[in-house]
Amino acid sequence: MRQLRVSPLILLLALSGGLSAAEHEHPAPVVLAPGYEDLTFTPPVSGSYALPPLGTAADGEVLIEDGSAVQLHSLLEDKLIVMCFIYTRCNDVNGCPLATHVFKGVQDALVDETGLQDEVRLLSFSFDPAYDRPDVLRKYGSYFKNPDADWHFLTTQSTDALNPILDAYGQWVIRDKDPDGRDLGTISHLLRVFLIDRDKRIRNIYSMSYLHADTVMNDLKTLLIEENRGSGASTGRVSNRSPNSDLW
């Protein structure tokens, strides 16, 4: 049996939230999510499968790293989008740190891909607006962002601004409380990562068991091939989506 290795990125994730490493310690997982390892299968050839639309990507007011308020749809314009919902204090290695690890892998692959880098934007969207203010996200992102990559970290002004967006994307969160009702700073949630085309249509939703940089890259190339064919989204072919994906 090969030994599972926790990515060094996880340690950076713990430190980026402003807490000590000791405060983030937890038992090592028995099994790390597939996104931390090499793929165990050969993915289908890009463009040989279809990704039927699953719905329309919702809009809402968000804050970018410099604190400016913009509409989410303005960040979706003219790009293929990969968007995840995370929070910086998450210490579940198979949760938000997995999403950031995979996004960094996608980022690095995009930088190396001629003709693809300018077509894709990565969005990491926090559902912890009380803590994940723009300055926190700016510091957090600095651990992972390549200056040549199009990767943005978003938050909202308040939970009131956030909740309709979460509802529209089917992203549930539970803010953990102690017996006296005090906020523990941890959030229970389901990991959901969205692939969105230039028409603001959701084309795939990745769960923990299916999220991998190679798979995301394969799907991005499939959407580009679809665009080049000029045929739009076909619904008559088998999708690459995993039967274990959490679709709403």
Assign domain 8-229 one CATH number from 3.40.190.10, 3.40.30.10, 3.40.50.20, 1.10.3720.10: 3.40.30.10
Minimum mean pLDDT range among 4-8, 24-28, 119-123, 226-230? 4-8
Give strand pairing partners of 173: 189
Query: What percent of the chain clears pLDDT 70, i.e. is strictly above it?
Result: 78
| Three-state DSSP string of 49-113 | CECCCCCECCCCEEECCCCCEEEHHHHHCCCEEEEEEECCCCCCCCCHHHHHHHHHHHHHHHHHC
Within 10 A of 153 (CB to CB), how many other CB atoms are there? 26
Instruction: Give the confidence band of 28 by pLDDT, cuts at 50, 70, 90.
Output: low
- 3 state DSSP class of 154: strand
What pLDDT digit, counting tens, does each position of 164-189 carry? 999 999 887 777 777 766 776 667 77
Please tell me what DSSP assigns to residue 148.
T
* Angle between helix 134-142 and 8-16 (nearest 10): 160
* pLDDT at residue 27 greater than cutoff 60: no
Number of H-type helices and E-type strands within the chain: 6, 9
Domain ranges of the chain: 8-229
Q: Are strands 202-206 and 120-126 parallel, antiparallel or unpaired?
A: unpaired
pTM of the predicted model, to two decimals? Answer: 0.79
For residue 109, what pLDDT is reported?
A: 93
